[in-house]
Amino acid sequence: MPKPVPDQKLRRAEALDALDSVLPFDRRDFLAELLTDDDVATLRHLAKEGIGENSLRALASDLGYLEAWSLAATGFSLPWPAPEVLLIKFVAHHLWDPAKRETDVSHGMPEDVTAALKSAKLLRVDGPHAPNTVRRRLSSWSTLTGWRGLVGNFSAPGLRSAIKLAVRASARPRGRKSKKAVTADILTVLLKACAGDRLVDVRDRAVLITAFASGGRRRSEIASLRFEQIVEEEPVPADPKAPDGEKLPCLSIRLGRTKTTQADSDAFVLLVGRPVLALKGWLERAGITEGAVFRGIDRWGNLEKRALTPQAVNLILKRRIAKAGLDPQAFSAHGLRSGYLTETARRGIPLPEAMQQSQHRSVQQASNYYNDAERTLGRAARVII
């Protein structure tokens, strides 16, 4: 895979420095190896246009992968706009029939392309990709083409047919983002694994309980949470049926721009009781009065100014899962989101009320967690036991 000369790489890395809040430092150097000057200019233009940080981060990641794949598969950087034949080649390299591969080594992604992408740590799977991953990268490719003022071939009948046939041939079952949900019982075990007075323990307890109790917030939302989004509210009754009884502390989190809400949205979620105490305890201990709420902590226990990345939130969960004696491979940060909805279903909380806290837009998607919980607790599978 050809690499840019040092001066080119340095120029691109410096240009990507303008995206400091979006791209991790080590990622910028890596992308400077792959992206062209026009690619970098496009990303900076998108940032100036106000595209969301998470969307821009995903576009940059997909663009880096596409450029690396093009260099490995064709020997050249991506052409803009891409011809239909190249789009179909991308599909053929990523969605294929494992059974046919056993008798035809030329089927699917060529070995040299696979080796190049694996050496760049861009490819982890040995089999065909997930159809949704391929569709997302094609969508990013289309978006970037449009932002360059060009018209692509992404709606061409030949490409649509190729995707349809390839998805059927790859026969890859869809898996959940987290094999297991982090329900209340699992969360209790995790919080015990965070027991301690170290700064990192206080932070991790606050991260996990805030993410769960606020409706299963996405890891990107937890990573980007800022002090200014947190609003002190009047204490609320511990028992809604006894308004004059014991009161619990309450905070609201103004969501701003998320995957399902816009920056000017008034959407908010509430924290009540223990999660409020955990979050306030972290803010007071860390002395945070503005900016990022959840931040890195170095190996010596010192607080950093830089906010956690979404990947760091996932690693915190996995590290605490391992410390609790559970399997880190079975859980991811998305398990906090699915776990919240699963727990509300177990407790008989109405779906609309749960969705108000989780901010799911799709009833069908949210109800899947309810359906799973109800099926395991129901009688239909217990006809003969």
pLDDT exceeds cutoff 50 at 384: yes
CB neighbours of 288 closer than 8 A, spacing ≥ 6?
Answer: 227, 282, 295
CB neighbours of 385 closer than 8 A, spacing ≥ 6?
Answer: none
- Say if residue 153 is exposed, middle or buried (CB neighbours under 10 Å; 0-12, 13-18, 19+): middle
Q: How far is residue 163's CA from residue 156's CA, in Å, rounded to a whole number?
A: 11
Q: Which range among 27-41, 96-110, 130-144, 200-214 has the greatest average pLDDT?
A: 200-214
pLDDT of res. 262: 47
Helix (H, G, I), strand (E, B) or coil at 10: helix
Domains of the chain: 7-50 (no CATH), 59-169 (no CATH), 184-379 (1.10.443.10)
Q: How far is residue 2's CA from residue 279's CA, in Å, rounded to a whole number?
A: 48
pLDDT exceeds cutoff 50 at 253: yes
Task: Give the lowest-confidence range in 7-21, 106-120, 177-191, 344-358.
Answer: 7-21
Bridge partners (DSSP) of residue 254 are 268
pLDDT of res. 32: 66
Q: How far is residue 226's CA from residue 320's CA, in Å, rounded to a whole number?
A: 24
Q: Which range among 27-31, 49-53, 188-192 has the greatest average pLDDT?
A: 188-192
| Average pLDDT of span 106-121 | 91
Q: Which helix (H) or strand (E) holds 271?
A: strand 268-272
Q: How far is residue 382's CA from residue 58's CA, in Å, rounded to a whole number?
A: 44
pLDDT exceeds cutoff 80 at 122: yes
Percent pLDDT > 90 in the chain is 42
Helix (H, G, I), strand (E, B) or coil at 108: coil
pLDDT exceeds cutoff 50 at 25: no
ω into residue 235 within 30 of 0, thus cis? no
Token pair of 171 as six digits: 């026969």
Percent pLDDT > 70 in the chain is 81
As a whole number, the mean pLDDT across the chain is 83
- pLDDT level of residue 112 (50, 70, 90 thresholds): very high
pLDDT exceeds cutoff 80 at 21: no
251 vs 15, more confident: 251
Q: Which helix (H) or strand (E) holds 231?
A: strand 230-237
Shortest CA distance to 96 belongs to which of 207, 15, 1, 171?
A: 171
Q: How far is residue 229's CA from residue 263's CA, in Å, rounded to a whole number?
A: 12
Token pair of 202 as six digits: 């206080």
CB atoms within 10 A of CB 383: 6
Do residues 113 and 69 touch, judged by C-beta distance below 8 A? yes
- pLDDT level of residue 264 (50, 70, 90 thresholds): very low
Helix (H, G, I), strand (E, B) or coil at 53: helix
Give per-residue pLDDT as tens, 136-179: 999 999 999 998 889 988 988 888 888 888 777 666 555 555 57
| Alpha helices for 155-259 (secondary structure H) | 157-170, 184-193, 199-213, 219-223
pLDDT of res. 10: 57
Q: Which DSSP letter does residue 122 get?
A: -
Token pair of 129 as six digits: 């990709």
Task: Give the lowest-confidence range in 89-98, 349-358, 366-375.
Answer: 366-375
Do residues 271 and 251 touch, judged by C-beta distance below 8 A? yes
Give per-residue pLDDT as tens, 301-356: 999 998 998 889 999 999 999 999 999 988 998 889 888 988 888 888 887 888 88
CB neighbours of 245 closer than 8 A, spacing ≥ 6?
Answer: 237, 238, 239
pLDDT of res. 170: 67
pLDDT of res. 227: 94
Give per-residue pLDDT as tens, 183-217: 999 999 999 999 999 999 999 999 999 999 999 89
Rounded to two decimals, the pTM is: 0.58
Q: How far is residue 252's CA from residue 265's CA, in Å, rounded to a whole number?
A: 14
Task: Give the lowest-confidence range in 99-103, 125-129, 261-265, 346-350.
Answer: 261-265
